Amino acid sequence: MKKEVCGLCNNEIIIGEPRFSFPILPEWHCLSEYKGDYHISCLKRNSEISSNLAHTYYHYYKDRGEIVKRESNVIIRIELDTQNIVFHSFDDFVRFYIPQRLICSVENMKDYDKLWLDIYKVKSISLDDISNLFLYDRIGGFTVKIEAFNHQGLIKMINEILMLK
């Protein structure tokens, strides 16, 4: 099995360590040198990466005519074909979606609740006792604390994007 190596620190990305797979960008893009997988902790050291990715994603989806909103380095959009609300938090380097049919379940989450976001139980969100939000990725075997927003912030962003629909 091929080792995954972080493009910034050149250390192996071990199963269970939070990672981010960089999108393929055109050669003229200021972040085109970033290719492959990176430790999320390494990427968080450079705020320029977060803001440039957020800018790029926002304009990409906006130019495609999608319903999209940007709050700092968080991109929220609605996939009209699947009716999912998609979150890209480039401060945390995570992506997840919430099916619109689960919005009530998200709003009603209580301390220590866990909510699976898909039928295959690949990703889930959970809360701690002070409304911090955590994303679990079963395939990568890691959990990331979402620092860009908490549970109340998530609900606020859901309501705001739905008002644009």
Tell me the pLDDT tens digit for each residue of 9-33: 999 999 899 999 999 999 999 999 9
Tell me the pLDDT tens digit for each residue of 93-126: 999 999 999 999 999 999 999 999 998 899 999 9
pLDDT of residue 43: 96
| β-pair partners for 86 | 77, 97
Contact 38, 18 (CB under 8 A): no
User: Could you give the percent of the chain with pLDDT greater than 70?
Assistant: 99
Site of tokens 């430790």? 39
Cα-to-chain-centroid distance, residue 27: 24
Say if residue 1's pLDDT is above 70. no
Q: Which residue has the higher pLDDT, 119 or 146?
A: 146
